[in-house]
Amino acid sequence: MKRLVSGIKPTGEFTLGNYIGAIKQFVEMQKDYESFVFVADLHALTVYNDPEVLRTRIRELIGIYLACGLDPKHTTLFVQSENLFHANLSWVLECNSYVGELSRMTQFKDKSKNKGNESISCGLFTYPALMAADILMYDADVVPVGVDQKQHVELARNIAERFNNRYGKTFKVPDPMIPEAGAKIYDLQNPTKKMSKTDESGKGCIMLLEDPSVARKKIMSAVTDSESKVYYDKENKPGISNLLVIYSLLEHISIEEATQKFGESNYGSFKTAVADSVEKFLVELQAKYNEIVESGLIDEVLDASNKKVRKIAEEKVLDVFKKVGVGRY
Ligand code: AMP
Ligand code: TRP
């Protein structure tokens, strides 16, 4: 069975965008791939995070993964920092990456823009090498990520090829897997901008653990256009198109089917249907989440997977250490 590896950073509240753009793909793919899905908590340290908040978010994300349908029978769920070998491999890969290529990462350029060198952490710069370690550690075949992460997966491929050429075949060269365009969810108030937890007003973004009735109001007040026909046209009707995407993905129907259903409806009744769908999704998700949190399943799952991932990682790191010539391996 081919292997899938992916992770999400535990920073900020988790959003409907995280579900539709990432977690939903992991859930759909877990039956066909041996999956390793983790909480990328070491990546969260590239900027300052309050330690108590970070601790809470890590557990929250594991709970969300489980509540969304990741099944420990198919998916090994773990917390990156609990497998100490990630940081070891990351160092060796950093030493096999170049300042030039890391400087070309657009995410680094965006995040460091308008900041002086004295306020950007070195971790923010070298973070793609840690991401390469996360991926190459498990010999991933596919890495499902949002489009913003594609460049980092390509870097992991380059590092793998370079290392294999220098030291002999050690790593599998992974492929990125980008969900189809429809899977990008936009801000409800500003539907040309990605729905993101950094949204300042909070009105444009649906949080997975927020009060479902608040989420309902956000959908009802989503920005639309002045025409009153419901159809998909991303350029001219970004607000309505975004709601159609959300509705069709949550109801497991195609955009065409959703359009047929609402084509003649006014915006009010269309929005009510989307709001019902989002509200129902959140109510069910949160009921499962609360049950999981109370059951102790989170620690049970993590304790079991820790042994498994450490074993795989230890073998890989010892092989790498031996190949590069450090220690007495
Ligand atoms: P982030 O929360 O930006 O760290 O992203 C974690 C994962 O969720 C990545 O795979 C993103 O591509 C995905 N993601 C985040 N926001 C959205 C969105 N609005 N639409 C689709 N995917 C998203
Ligand atoms: N960098 C990814 C993000 O910000 C998270 C991540 C870390 C990741 N390591 C990974 C994703 C390995 C896929 C594979 O969203």
Q: Give the whole-angstrom CA distance, residue 168 versus residue 283.
A: 52
pLDDT value at position 245? 94
- 203 is known as an active-site residue: no
pTM score, two decimals?
0.95
pLDDT for residue 182 is more than 70: no
Secondary structure class of 267 (helix, strand, coil): helix
192-220 mean pLDDT: 92
What number does the ligand 1 atom closest to the CA of 147 have? Answer: 12
194 among known catalytic residues: yes
φ, ψ at 240 (rounded to 5°)? -65, -40
Q: What's the pLDDT band for 279 if we cut at 50, 70, 90?
A: very high
Give the model confidence (pLDDT) of 96-110 as tens digits: 999 999 999 999 999
What spacing in Å lies between the alpha carbon of 319 and ligand 2's midpoint? Answer: 24
Q: In angstroms, what is the span from residue 147 Cα to ligand 1's centroid?
A: 9
What is the phi/psi pair of residue 239, to 5°?
A: -70, -50
Q: 3-class DSSP state for residue 155?
A: helix
* Percent above pLDDT 90 for the chain: 88
**For the ranges 14-23, 123-132, 196-205, 210-219, which has the lowest average pLDDT?**
196-205
Is residue 181 scored above 70 in pLDDT? no
pLDDT tens digits for range 292-306: 999 999 999 999 999
- Pocket (CB within 6 angstroms of ligand 1): 8-9, 15, 17-18, 20-22, 145-146, 148-149, 183-185, 194-196
pLDDT at residue 147 in the model: 82
The tokens for 246 are 């959300």
Close Cβ partners of 213 (under 8 Å, ≥ 6 residues apart): 279
* Tokens 């809470």, residue located: 56
DSSP 180: P
Residue 232 to residue 211: CA distance in whole angstroms: 29
Strand ranges in the chain using DSSP code E only, listed in sequence order: 3-8, 34-39, 75-79, 142-144, 175-177
Ligand 2 atom with minimal separation from the 107 CA:
4
Active-site residue identified among 2, 111, 261, 280:
111
Cα of 243 to ligand 2 centre, how many Å?
27
Identify whether 311 is a catalytic site residue: no
Spatial contact of 76 and 309, defined as CB atoms under 8 Å apart: yes
Contact 11, 49 (CB under 8 A): yes
Of residues 197, 261, 280, 323, which has the active-site annotation? 197
End-to-end distance of the chain based on CA atoms, in angstroms? 30
Q: Is the pLDDT of residue 179 over 80?
A: no
Nearest atom (ligand 1) to Cα of 15: 16
Mean of the per-residue pLDDT values of the chain: 95
One-letter amino acid at 82 equals E
Q: Which of 6, 18, 294 is nearest to 183 (CA)?
A: 18
Please say whether the beta carbons of 108 and 131 come within 8 A: no
Residue of 18, 111, 246 to mutate, ligand 1, most atoms within 8 A of C-beta: 18
pLDDT of residue 197 exceeding 90: no
Mean pLDDT of 190-213: 91
Task: Measure the CA–CA gap between 311 and 139, rounded to whole angstroms.
Answer: 14
pLDDT at 167: 98
Say yes or no to pLDDT of 200 above 90.
Answer: no
pLDDT at 98: 97
pLDDT tens digits along 114-145? 888 888 999 999 999 999 999 999 999 999 99
pLDDT of residue 119: 86
- What's the CA-to-centroid distance between 63 and ligand 1, angstroms? 18
What is the Cα–Cα distance from 14 to 322, expressed in whole angstroms? 40
DSSP-derived secondary structure letter, 186 = B
**Ligand 2 atom with the shortest distance to the CA of 140:** 14
Q: What is the 3-state secondary structure (H, E, C) of 91-124?
A: HHHHCCCCHHHHHCCHHHHHHHCCCCHHHCCHHH
In our burial notation (b when 16+ CB lie closer than 10 A, e otherwise), range 166-179 reads: ebeebbbebebbbb
**Model confidence at 201, in pLDDT bands (50, 70, 90)?**
confident
pLDDT range class, residue 263, cuts 50, 70, 90:
confident
Residue 184 has a pLDDT of: 86
Mean pLDDT, residues 205-226: 97
